[in-house]
Amino acid sequence: MLPPPFDERIPYGTDPRQFAELRYPKGGGPFPLLFVVHGGFWQSVYDLKHIGALCAALTKKGTITCNLEYRRLGDSGGGYPGTFQDIAHATDHILETTPSDPRYDHAHTAILGHSAGGHLALPENQSPEPYPWPASPTYAPPGNKTSDTASSHDS
């Protein structure tokens, strides 16, 4: 199943996999901005299409979604550090090219990552850059079990 259409595709690098798909809510804004980093087991066979429906649903609720594509294992430049650099370059590029766009509320910007994308979103939360990253969610990041969860089921 294909995701709902996006409104705009913005390249942030020279590789064909370095782009962002943006969806804008109806109305004039300003709207909060959510960067979305897809998962896919780090493999090049998985791309941003599988999280497009989530982006469309969040956009219907009044959030600009910026679905990031990036180089992965199997892609030239993918893996460490290229994949992490792609996410940093993408978020920098979008934030630096949209400051005067009235649709964007840059004071309300967050990043969300699913699965392997959660690993990529976490370093952005700890970036020394002066961006307004709040504590952003990751959905099902690998290794998200805690000993508290395990011990609560032992009794």
- Taking the C-alpha atoms of residue 24 and residue 102, their distance in angstroms, rounded to an integer, is 12
- The structure's pTM equals 0.81
Percentage above 90 pLDDT, the chain = 51
What does the pLDDT look like over 84-138, one tens digit per residue? 999 999 999 999 999 899 999 998 999 998 888 888 887 765 555 545 555 444 4
* Residue owning tokens 């649709």: 103
Q: How far is CA 147 from CA 81, 109, 115, 152, 155, in A?
A: 30, 31, 20, 9, 14
Residue 83: both structure tokens together: 């994949």
Assigned CATH topology for domain 8-141: Rossmann fold (3.40.50)
* Side chain identity at residue 13, one-letter code: G
Whether the Cβ atoms of residue 104 and residue 98 lie closer than 8 Å to each other: yes
48: pLDDT strictly greater than 90: no
